[in-house]
Amino acid sequence: MFHYLDAMLQTLLNDSAAPRLVVDAETSFVTPEKSFKPQLTDNAINLFLYEVKENRELRQTAPNRDLRDEPRAIKRAPLRVDCAYMVTAWSKKTGEVGVTESHNLLGQAFYWLSRFPEIPEQYLTAAGLTGQLFDAPTMVAQMDGAKSAGEFWNALGIPPRPYFNLIVTICMDLDQAVEDSIVTTMSSRYLQTEEPSSEEEILLIGGTVRDNAGKPVPNAWVLMEPYDPVRDNEMKVTDKDGHFVIKKAVRGVGFSLRARATGYPETPPRQFDVVPSATGEYDLQFP
């Protein structure tokens, strides 16, 4: 999973909307040892994954349940995992020129990554981090995870360098079902305060898009209608197994689903009167 996160960050840094200096720099995830230097370009951004730990503040202790009329599966809640990177900038040039260039690159990377309090879903999907049940929040230079940075640089045998921390929180599905069944609807409830009236519910639904032979269709577009920004039900893209997840569905509210994919006719809209559906599944199939 962590290599998918690396790929996502590289895609984010290579986005054409990012500062040109950031886009043109190579991205590296190796340990920045004494011999480290840019290999392909004049500058490099190094993201060293120095710590992985559970985010206990976001821990969900209650299990996730299948909300069909007769629940058949109970699964452990996914872990919320903080992945902490030490971000540094490097230049092939030496002396004051090299310092100036690396500082400029570090500042541009700081500026660009700070624009994303949450990782947009398209970056997660493109990197293979599909099925994230919660948004992926980030923190830039807000936690001093590298408390012994001086010892770190000494151990590598190089002078201390300026850096900032990037922490991305992702979901790790433990996939431990009590009973053997596919969960297509998940519900999580949490309290904003100690008052029961502050309870909020996050309801997620998911399904599979298949062709007329029953085989999963990756990279299909799935749309929930009517559109509602509160539901976060913009176009979703299926993963390599044809699965899709729609977040923030509203309990009791009807909707329809339809799918499109290159080389297939559009599926007819499939109507659901309520959430969760009476059948407990939301699959779509191309004619």
* CATH number of the structural domain 2-172: 3.30.2000
Q: Mind spelling out the 3-state secondary structure of 147-179?
A: CCHHHHHHHHCCCCCCCEEEEEEEEECCCCECC
The domain locations on the chain are 2-172, 185-285
Work out the pLDDT band at 24, boundaries 50, 70, 90. very high
Q: Report the mean per-residue pLDDT for the chain.
A: 78
Mean pLDDT value of segment 83-103 = 91
Mean pLDDT value of segment 227-252 = 72
CA 226 to CA 245: how far, in whole Å?
17
Write down the pLDDT at residue 179. Answer: 37
CA 222 to CA 261: how far, in whole Å?
9
Taking 60 as the threshold, does the pLDDT of residue 25 lie above it?
A: yes
Write down the pLDDT at residue 27. Answer: 92
Write down the pLDDT at residue 70. Answer: 40
Residues 201-211: pLDDT tens digits?
556 778 889 99
Residues 153-186: pLDDT tens digits?
888 888 888 999 999 998 877 654 433 334 455 5
Work out the pLDDT band at 275, boundaries 50, 70, 90. low
The topology (CATH level 3) of 185-285 is Immunoglobulin-like (2.60.40)
Asked, as a colleague might, if the bond just before 226 is cis with ω within 30 of 0, I would say: yes
